[in-house]
Amino acid sequence: MSRITAVATARLVRDLHTPFVTALRRTSQVSSVVVRVTDADGRSGYGEAPQVWRVTGESLESIEACVRGPLADALVGFDPAGAEPDSAVRLLERAVVGNGGARAACEIAVVDLLARASGMTLSAFLGGQVDSVRTDVTISADGGAWSPERLASAGFDRAKIKVGLDPSDIDRVIAIHAAVPGVPVRLDANQGWDLAGASAAVEAMLAAGVGLEFLEQPLPAWDLAGHAELRRRFGVPIVLDESVFGIHDLHRAIDAGAGDIVNIKLAKCGGLYAGLEIAKEAFAADLEVMVGSMMESELGTSAAAALASAVAPGHVHDLDAAWWSIDLADAGTPYREGRFRLAHSPGLTHAQQRVMPSFAVA
Ligand SMILES: [Mg+2]
């Protein structure tokens, strides 16, 4: 192995087959920046940083500026093979504050390069021992294009319903539950409610006989006390997503008793080894973890799936992001029977070749 000699970016834009709507945003495209790191032996690794104005605050332009500027400065000359596994995460954390997606894409690219050099899948490199992980599928907050047949077509048996836009949400949840009564209901309000609104919503759903598997981020990210109060009132498991970016957020959430499950996303925490650390600390505090992702392509989702396979191989994760931009007739899709299939080729080679066979350096 040898030192990193170059860091480059390229833009990736893909249309979704169905608009994706949450309480925070509506989008009909995946817009992301793919990062490539190259070492002195000519080997490359790839990572993806999605544009997420409303969660990480990152844009395509900010990601490019960050990666080509301070993150490239930090990485060029660094030899990852001779360092501790989490050294790229630490190096990049010291280079910039925030910019979690840009940092994660660089770290994933470094780890991808190491996995490819070892001839290992990214999952195996991280300690995973399964070849697929289960995932839910999201039902948008506007209910668009949803049907029980659509859900079943990809074999999904868990649905995560986006709520938090308006009070009629609850009628929609009750109707979906009635249409697919055997499918456990996961709700994600993306910070769209306040304590009174969330309480009323949970009471209405419980009264209607909707069994909630969990309620994700009902309240604003800062409101740890409110999330703790909801847990006490209803006993419904609370997932923290926007409240927990990194390990320090996790410790604050644990101290506040604010959640039962943490939704780990690479673009929030800054990389695969940061995600592994969050999972370890969460388990030590008797919390569960779920691995999710932003709206990103098969490249970024494959990295998240590799992390999921390593930290919680038996859980149902939140890895449907890439499904929204695949050709639904594509026989090579990783989505089958409600699972995300991990590729058998080294590192992220398979996903990278599917989404970006040629890398047009910006
Ligand atoms: Mg969420």
User: How far, in Å, is the centroid of ligand 1 from the Cα of 273?
Assistant: 21
Residues belonging to the active site: 162, 265
How far is it, in rounded angstroms, from Cα 266 to Cα 157?
25
pLDDT value of residue 149? 74
Instruction: Give the type of residue at 152.
Output: A
CB under 8 Å to 42, separation ≥6 — which residues? none
Residue 185, strand partner residues: 159, 212
Catalogue the E-assigned strands of 22-131: 26-39, 44-50
Q: What is the pTM of this model?
A: 0.96
User: How far, in Å, is the centroid of ligand 1 from the Cα of 190?
Assistant: 6
- In the structure, how many helices (H) and strands (E) does the chain have? 14, 14
pLDDT value of residue 215? 96
User: How far, in Å, is the centroid of ligand 1 from the Cα of 8?
Assistant: 30
Residue 301: helix, strand or coil by DSSP?
helix
pLDDT value of residue 311? 98
pLDDT value of residue 241? 98
How far is it, in rounded angstroms, from Cα 287 to Cα 281?
9
- Enumerate long-range contacts of 207-211, CB under 8 Å, 24 or more apart: 208/174, 208/177, 209/177, 210/173, 210/174, 210/177, 210/185, 211/184, 211/185
Each of the 362 residues of the chain gets a pLDDT tens digit; together they read 589 999 999 999 999 988 888 877 788 999 999 999 999 999 999 999 999 998 999 999 999 999 999 999 999 999 999 899 999 999 999 999 999 999 999 999 999 999 999 999 999 999 999 999 999 998 887 766 667 777 777 788 888 998 887 767 888 888 888 888 877 889 999 999 999 999 999 999 999 989 899 999 999 999 999 999 999 999 999 999 999 999 999 999 999 999 999 999 999 999 999 999 999 999 999 999 999 999 999 999 999 999 999 999 999 999 999 999 988 788 889 999 999 999 999 999 999 999 998 888 76
User: How far, in Å, is the centroid of ligand 1 from the Cα of 47?
Assistant: 21
List of domains in the chain: 4-119 (3.30.390.10), 125-348 (3.20.20.120)
pLDDT value of residue 144? 66
Asked if residue 36 lies in contact with residue 356, where contact means CB atoms within 8 angstroms, the answer is no
Instruction: Give the type of residue at 104.
Output: A
Residue 340, strand partner residues: 133, 335
User: How far, in Å, is the centroid of ligand 1 from the Cα of 70?
Assistant: 29
User: How far, in Å, is the centroid of ligand 1 from the Cα of 17?
Assistant: 20
How far is it, in rounded angstroms, from Cα 232 to Cα 202?
13
> Phi first, then psi: what are they for 247, rounded to 5°?
-65, -35
User: How far, in Å, is the centroid of ligand 1 from the Cα of 350?
Assistant: 27
Parallel, antiparallel, or unpaired for β 132-135 and 339-341?
A: antiparallel
pLDDT value of residue 143? 67
User: How far, in Å, is the centroid of ligand 1 from the Cα of 217?
Assistant: 7
Q: Which of 154, 195, 200 is nearest to 173 (CA)?
A: 200
Q: Position of tokens 């077509």?
A: 153
User: How far, in Å, is the centroid of ligand 1 from the Cα of 354?
Assistant: 26
How far is it, in rounded angstroms, from Cα 114 to Cα 97?
25
How far is it, in rounded angstroms, from Cα 151 to Cα 161?
12
pLDDT value of residue 157? 82
